[in-house]
Structure 1
Amino acid sequence: MEELKSGDLLKQIKEEVYSKFENYKLKNKKPNTKLSIALWIIPAILWPVGSVLWFFGLFLFQSILLPIGTAMVFISIPLFISAVIYTIVVNKNKSNYIKPFLEEFEISSYYKLEMKRLFGEYLSDLRIEKNFLTTVLKLGPFLYADDPKVKEVMTFSLEGQKFSYGVVTSRKLVRTRHGWRYWYFHQTFIVANFTKSFLESPTNMYFSRTPFLLLDDAKKIDFESPEFNDYANVFSSDQIFARKFITPKRMSNILEISKNNNRAKLEYLFFHKSALVGEVKTFKSYHFKYHSFTSLSNISKIDELVNQIYNKVTCEVSDLRDVLKFFQVMGLFPD
């Protein structure tokens, strides 16, 4: 496959956005702002002119000017009210004019392009779905609260290994001085199902989180590298297999990549058989409750949409790439 450049993605987004927006404008008439301007001009002229005529008619005893000025002032009042109402309606329609276009505009294909640019033919079957992969490791125990909701998940295969990446929103009902309120939590997870088993017994690696979900027979493993022990807390119920898996080379690779702070990072990793679950702290993309990879924010100019899509896609993929690079240096799939 011919390697794509980052600028190619921006160019394609721009071409498709402008092309589809031109078609959209042909089918959807834009609100008329000229009439709104005219409605403001007329009372803006009638009111001061009528006031002047009324003043002169009253104090200069010009009887013909008094009724003319009065009529002009009274006519300008309903016109002024109409101008206000019409302007409010036009501005509302104008702000909502592009909303249907944003809701219908599909951007998942740009994720495929950017992922293909980075991973080439190693990548396949990328889709935006509603659920994470099903593995022997369930997400429930990793959640901060109850009532989990998932809006969109990015699923794909890399070197034949299956991955899913997305945000889970959970909530907890708490009592505050203002009454009962929901507290919302959002967590970014990556879930993998590999074609081979790495560890038959559950093994947990904690990088920036206090250890949790420890099995009764899980023991902390102290490796020969003090630097690695300071960076990662590793627990396993089978220390022999865990030591065979986390080799000195893997420890060295993990420590090397950990020196780069300008990247998305894993807070912990759970391994069991061929499954993996990790929680991600993003670096470039901002994840919030009910996070969506494809939804777009409202805009006032079409140029803003081009930049919004490009930044959204490239930032999301950049963070995901950081996580996959971490898996790569661990030797979970080939270079």
Structure 2
Amino acid sequence: MDKKWKEEVKLQLDNVLSKYSKKSLNFVSLSKQWNIQITIYIIVAIIFIALAFEVFAQIMGIAGVILGLVIFFVFIITAIVMTSITIKTKKIKKKILTEINVNDIYKNAFEEESDNKIIVTSISKNFDVPILSLLPTVGKNYNDIIINMEIRGIKYSLGSVTNCVTTTYVDSKGRTITRTTFTRYPFLTIELNESLNIETTIKSLKKPFLGIFKHKDNTELESMDFEKMYFVNANDQIAIRKLLTPKIMADLIDEGSKRPIPKLFIKNNFLTFSFPEYIVDSLKAPNGIFTVLNFTNKIDKMFDEICDKILGDFQTFKNYKRWFNIYQIET
């Protein structure tokens, strides 16, 4: 184990697991497999009702019916017991994860993985560097978990916002249907030490017909190829040309041909990067939420899952910050 923060994870995890009996932890490890087995039991029981009763009755008469009922109830009772244990072990999993000091581990991990360049100032529901634009305007927006950091005096907030949109409609049978769609939007916000003296929105757009038409915005830049791929609105034409130099536009054209480009909003010394959104099942779905540990395997794999989650979030921050570096903003 070559990292101090991993030793801390191991120590905390061992301390938490020591509070539970070996029997309880074995149930936790088995419960994932039991979810599948319970489904199989129920399916078999239903098939048994439909087919086996008649066969047993024809062969053994009343005794066959009784035997069929006994076997059926054994299936059902087994399924109920396994379901109750599964529910209990889910609560144990959740409790184990909540007892781990995630904030301290993330703070130490980000600092160590960055050679002490990153200082994690807080992990909360708030963006210390606010989102000034690019939020969805329909439905309700809810902050997930945000990691607030500082690197050489520049402040960063890494997090996501989940947007909830509820729609009601009448289907072909006259029934009123209400559905809620949950969409998660990752953000990286940055507060610079000095103002860029500009307010601008930059975002990539779908290629226009035949790629020969410029999108309607309020800027005239030096690269026609760039203007075919990007929408740029700015309040200062001189400042936007200083920001989007020929070199930077060439890099953005190259990047835009390979992968989705995040939207960028700049207002003086505040930057907001909005990355591609994705659909989730619910407001509390863990998918993509930073720092949220989601234990899915056996107990002996828990340490690896926690470490992988932390390293994954750290790599995501590096990938997001890379776009800040592409713009070559002097800090």
Q: Aligned match of 1:317 in 314, 319, 325? A: 314
Question: 1:226-245 residue pairs with structure 2 within 5 A?
Answer: 226-245=224-243
Rounded to whole Å, the distance in 1 between the matches of 2:281 and 2:205 is: 19
Q: Aligned match of 1:272 in 253, 267, 271? A: 267
| Counterpart contact for 2:146–2:158, Cα < 8 Å | yes
Rounded to whole Å, the distance in 1 between the matches of 2:26 and 2:318 is: 46
Q: Aligned match of 2:136 in 140, 143, 150? A: 143
Gap change, CA 1:89 and 1:148, over 3 Å in 2: closer
Instruction: Please tell me the residue identity of whatever aligns with 1:30.
Output: S
Q: Aligned match of 1:99 in 94, 97, 100? A: 94
Q: Aligned match of 1:158 in 148, 151, 174? A: 151
TM-score normalised to the size of structure 2?
0.66
Instruction: Structure 2: state its 5+ residue gaps.
Output: 28-66, 208-215
Gap change, CA 1:318 and 1:258, over 3 Å in 2: farther
* Residue 248 (structure 1) aligns with: 246
TM-score normalised to the size of structure 1?
0.66
| Counterpart contact for 2:9–2:105, Cα < 8 Å | no
- The structural deviation recorded for 1:104 is 1.6
CA offset digits 1:223-272 (Å, max 9, x no partner): 223343344322212111111222223334444555664xxx54310111
2:138 matched to 1:129?
no
CA RMSD of aligned residues (A): 3.9
* Residue 171 (structure 1) aligns with: 164
2:281 matched to 1:281?
no
Secondary structure, in 3 states, of the residue corresponding to 2:3?
helix
* Residue 30 (structure 1) aligns with: 24
* Residue 185 (structure 1) aligns with: 183
Rounded to whole Å, the distance in 1 between the matches of 2:282 and 2:319 is: 19
Q: Which protein is bigger by CA-based radius of gyration?
A: 1
Rounded to whole Å, the distance in 2 between the matches of 1:166 and 1:315 is: 14
Rounded to whole Å, the distance in 2 between the matches of 1:205 and 1:90 is: 53
Instruction: Please tell me the residue identity of whatever aligns with 2:114.
Output: F
- The structural deviation recorded for 1:14 is 6.3
Which 4+ runs in 1 deviate beyond 6 A? none
How many residues get paired?
Answer: 271
Q: Is the deviation greater in 13-22 or in 271-280? A: 13-22
- The structural deviation recorded for 1:29 is 6.9
Question: 1:44-123 residue pairs with structure 2 within 5 A?
Answer: 84=78, 89-123=84-118
- The structural deviation recorded for 1:95 is 4.6
Q: Is the deviation greater in 115-124 or in 269-278? A: 115-124
Rounded to whole Å, the distance in 2 between the matches of 1:322 and 1:235 is: 25
Instruction: Please tell me the residue identity of whatever aligns with 2:161.
Output: V
Q: Give me the identity figure in percent.
A: 18
CA offset digits 1:35-78 (Å, max 9, x no partner): xxxxxxxxxxxxxxxxxxxxxxxxxxxxxxxxxxxxxx9xx99x
Gap change, CA 1:11 and 1:196, over 3 Å in 2: closer
Instruction: Please tell me the residue identity of whatever aligns with 2:178.
Output: W
Instruction: Please tell me the residue identity of whatever aligns with 2:236.
Output: D
